[in-house]
Amino acid sequence: MNNLIWLIPVLPLAGFVINGLGRNALSKNLIGAIGSLLVLVSFGISVAAFFQIKSSGVPINVTLFDWISVGNFKIPFSFLVDQLSSIMLLIITGVGFLIHLYSIGYMHDDKGFGKFFAYLNLFVFFMLLLVMGSNYVIMFIGWEGVGLCSYLLIGFWYTNPSYADAAKKAFVMNRIGDLGFLLGIFLLVNTFGSVAYAEIFPKASAAVSAGAPIVLITLLLFVGAVGKSAQLPLFTWLPDAMAGPTPVSALIHAATMVTAGIYMIARSNILFTLAPDTMEVIAIVGLATAAFAALIALTQTDIKKVLAYSTVSQLGYMFLGLGVGAYTGAFFHVLTHAFFKALLFLGAGSVIHAMGGEQDMRKMGGLKGNIKVTFITMLVGTIAIAGIPPFSGFFSKDEILAAAFAHSTTFYVVGVITAGLTSFYMFRMMYLTFWGKFRGTHEQEHHLHESPANMTIPLIVLAILSAIGGMIGVPAVMGGHHELGAYLAPVFEQSTKLLGEHELSRNTEWILMGTSVLIAIVAMGYAYSKYVSKAHVPVADQEERPALANLSYHKFYIDELYDKVIRKPLDALSVFFYKVVELSGIDGFVNGLGKSSIEASKGLRLLQTGNVGFYIFMMVVGIIAILVYSLVRI
Amino acid sequence: MESLTNTIQAVPLNHYILLSTIIFSIGVMGVLLRRNAIVIFMSVELMLNSVNLLLTAFSVYRGDAAGQVFVFFIMALAAAEVAVGLAIIVMIYRNTNSIDINVLNRLKW
């Protein structure tokens, strides 16, 4: 088994090379088959690795070669597949395969088909590198690589300038976070003299008592996570990232890449546990993001934008979980979120496909009869994300909320309200899309059709996973074992020891669950009365809205704020540097040198009289001068 | 040979130096003041010869043949130079009907 591990990332890389080089030569079917099957094989190996670790409990450690070796400082190119990364592997290759399969149908008429599959494979490769690396440097390679692929795929339809801008925005905002991550790694090297997990983590507690700058390190790492996982204040790139093809939104911007920040913190959980201040910051940022993004999602009319803000919000939940020390809960939510958010995005893609490219929910409605499979699977996903039992989202979200309650009641209250908002905007999306009368054009109504099988099969599989995925983490109070928790326990062992178990009585837990379910159902009912019974349709862009709704619809003007506070001053500064420093300063200096030498030569030129006598005279004077000089010097 | 050396050494070295200096200065003055290209040439020869004289004198006084070897080099060089230089002057005369160097000031900006 261990000598097959390297194949997991290499197979998608091979897919990238084959599809990248043969994108124009190979047929679409072949490209699709290569792209998907290679990921499927990786998935098979990942499953085998998972079962091996599950039975033996021993992480797989493979060193491929020595990569950087400077004096005593060595960075081997090695993989570590333990409990945490094995689950990530399953998500990436499993969900990744389904999304590849779906893309064969979704991208079928696109002329960039081969390019698209090459990029998707490359993304899977980097994502696998990110989770499999046994040290921070390899994680960083993957981290940057997925950023690159995200950029390439958001701007996939690069001839549209606003899509290209969205890609740039994502790239630049991620760079801000990556700078933090990189500085964090440097500081880790400085403090521990190593980048390998296996060397840093055991040393951590001793180093902290010796005064290591652990809070600074963890804060810097967290900055990286904020960028990649679209948290406040660096979240605005994620909704714009919806410019990319829908399978990209599902794979990269919902299921895998954006959870890289969560994975990184879960991986470094010991460091974070040792820095309670950072934990508090993480919890607050996560909670604020969850609530803030949920508020924006309430009024969005673009079906993918709703899902995008919902993703930001759910990521906020995960950070809340990490911040209050519920590492297992946060990771559980990563897992379930990967299922239902990928499902919802693919479902949205199927709706868009049926509507002939329409993304505005105001022009949809009444689709439930026409595209049944999409409707049912999306309904499953919506119930799962709304946190209604027994679907998966309920268990993971509830675990986070319970941990938040044990930490601070305020956190819990805000979290539960956000859960209510989540339920409201998700069902609002469902009702607007699938209930009521059709509000589109005639051609669209004729065009309505269910997607082909290779698009609906992934939906069905993901729907099943979304429905039952929560069963791996049934809490003890409901008579379950929380198998995920038991499986992950070795990874979080040290942190759990330091943090201690939070004790909630059985009654409290039941009350907490009841409350969140009740709120979710009430929100769902309110959405039903508003959007189905009263058949309310969000108003057109130019019409007046109530002040608060307006604020939410315009995303609290955050983009405009960034524009005013950051972009405009930067522009002004650049203009200043260009006009004043560059044009008159540097150019003036360089051109001045040229001009002055031209002027000087104009004067010196007059010495060339052509008078031979004069020349000879000057020569003699020169010789005498040299003689005098050498005499004096001697 | 012996007697020649003795004859030369009969005159004090300072006299040779003085003579050479005078001849050299005359040469320099000739080069600087005369306008006829051929006269300037001759003045240059004067300077060269003054140097030659000095070299031979030193050579004899120090009993070292190197100085004389140099004299031969200078002579050969001067001959070559004169051959080329005279040819140039002849060509200039043919083209301008003059070898007055103050008239030949075409080589300017």
A354 in Cβ contact with A105 (< 8 Å): no
> pLDDT at position B84, please?
93
> pLDDT at position B108, please?
67
DSSP-assigned beta bridge partners for residue A135:
A196
Give residue A1's pLDDT band: very low, low, confident or very high (50, 70, 90).
low
| φ/ψ of residue A477, rounded to 5 | -65, -25
Question: CA of A588 to nearest chain B CA: how many angstroms apart?
Answer: 30
* Facing residue for B102 by CB, picked from A606, A608, A611: A611
Range picked from A56-60, A128-132, A361-365 for highest mean pLDDT: A128-132
| φ/ψ of residue A248, rounded to 5 | -65, -45
Percentage of residues of chain A with pLDDT beyond 70: 99
Distance from CA of residue A511 to its chain's centroid? Answer: 34
On the question of pLDDT at B107 being above 80, the answer is: no
Q: Do A612 and B105 touch (CB under 8 A)?
A: yes
Contact of B104 with chain A, judged by CB distance below 8 Å, is answered with: yes
> pLDDT at position A74, please?
83
Contact of B103 with chain A, judged by CB distance below 8 Å, is answered with: no
Chain B CB contacts of A613 under 8 Å are 32, 35, 101-102
Both tokens of B82, joined, read: 């004169």
* Facing residue for B101 by CB, picked from A605, A608, A613: A613
Which of A250 and A19 is assigned the larger pLDDT?
Answer: A19
Q: Characterize A234-251 residue by residue with b for buried, 16 or more Cβ atoms within 10 angstroms of its Cβ, and e for exposed.
A: bbbbbbbbbbbbbbbbbb
> pLDDT at position B75, please?
92
Q: Report the alpha-carbon distance of residue B18 to residue B24 in Å, rounded.
A: 10
Looking at residue A225, its amino acid is A
Out of A172-181, A205-214, A280-289, least confident range: A205-214
Give residue B1's pLDDT band: very low, low, confident or very high (50, 70, 90).
low
pLDDT in tens, B44-90: 999 999 999 999 999 988 888 888 899 999 999 999 988 999 999 99
Mean pLDDT in residue range B15-20? 93
Contact of A557 with chain B, judged by CB distance below 8 Å, is answered with: no
Q: Do A620 and B104 touch (CB under 8 A)?
A: no
Chain B CB contacts of A605 under 8 Å are 109
Q: Tell me what the pLDDT averaged over chain A comes to.
A: 86
Percentage of residues of chain B with pLDDT beyond 90: 47
Q: Report the alpha-carbon distance of residue B60 to residue A405 in Å, rounded.
A: 116
Mean pLDDT in residue range A140-158? 89
A57 in Cβ contact with A46 (< 8 Å): no
Minimum CA–CA partner of B33 in chain A: A613
Q: How far is CA B37 from CA B45, B86, B106, in A?
A: 13, 9, 15
Contact of B13 with chain A, judged by CB distance below 8 Å, is answered with: no
A163 in Cβ contact with A243 (< 8 Å): yes
- For B:82-101, CB contacts with A below 8 A are 101
